[in-house]
Each structure stands twice: as structure tokens, then as C-alpha cells.
Amino acid sequence: MASLERITHEEADEPVTKPFINYLLSEVIVWYIVLALLIVLVSLFPARLEAKADPLRTPPHVKPEWYFLFLYQVLKLVPRTVGVLAPVVVVVVLFFLPFIDRNPSIQPRRRPIAIGLGILVLVVSIVLTIWGQLS
């Protein structure tokens, strides 16, 4: 008994841990096994989809979310080039609008053009959104 070492209380309570690289290696192995299983399942049971998509024709049942309906309706009404370039031009104008509009007044009575254009854009957007939802 004298040859046995005494174990202190701190040494007995230490948890047994694995080095991080061993833990990482086991995780990578499991992920590769799951990936291989997924590849085998996809190869054996491929998904059956609809007919191949035609990028020049939108199916009639497809509608975007409500916040894009006005743009979708504009695309239906104007030629393709105008429908693609017009939103880009609007975003660029909105970006530079603080530099273009130099009116220091913030009272609505002194800004009839800005208020009128804002109301016009809002009304047109709402009308096109409702029209796009109903069509």
C-alpha cells in the first residue's frame, strides 16, 4: 500500500477531455457520411419536377409578393427594356434627390411640387399593386 500514490481531490474531479482536433475530425467524418448518404439518395430517387422552365415566358399562375406587384404590373404594361431600366433610373434619382432638391423649407405648403410628386408616386404604386393582385 505504501507504493500506491495518493490521489488528491482536485485530480479525481477533473473531466476526461478529448483534444479539439479529435473532436473536429469526428465531426468532419460524420458530415461526410451524411453528405454521401444524401448524394446516394438523390442519385437513386431524383426529384420529378415540372416541365423545363422557359425564361421568356412567365406562367400565368406565378405572382410575386405584394411589395413587388407594382413592378410586376409595370413589366406587363411597358416594353421589356423600359420595364427593366425604369426601376433602376428611379432608384438612382431617389439616391440623388437630396442633392437635386435644394429647397431649405420643410413646410408642406412651400413644397407643392415635391408633395405632389410623392402623392402621385404613392397613388400609382397602390393602383398598380391592386391591379396586379386582381389580374
81-85 long-range contacts (CB < 8 A, ≥24 apart) are none
Q: What is the pLDDT along the chain (135 residues), one digit of tens a residue?
A: 555 555 555 555 666 677 778 888 989 999 999 999 999 999 998 887 777 778 788 777 778 898 989 988 888 889 989 988 988 998 998 898 888 888 888 888 888 888 898 899 999 999 999 998 888
Q: Is the dihedral of CA 14, 18, 21, 27 positive or negative?
A: negative
The model's pTM: 0.53
Instruction: Please name the residues in contact with 70: beta carbons below 8 A apart, sequence gap of 6 or more.
Output: 124, 125, 126, 128, 129, 132
Contact 73, 135 (CB under 8 A): yes
pLDDT at residue 119 in the model:
94
pLDDT at residue 28 in the model:
94
Taking alpha carbons only, the member of 44, 53, 66 closest to residue 130 is 66
pLDDT at residue 94 in the model:
86
Q: How far apart are CA 93 and CA 74, in angstroms?
A: 18
Q: How far apart are CA 88 and CA 83, in angstroms?
A: 9
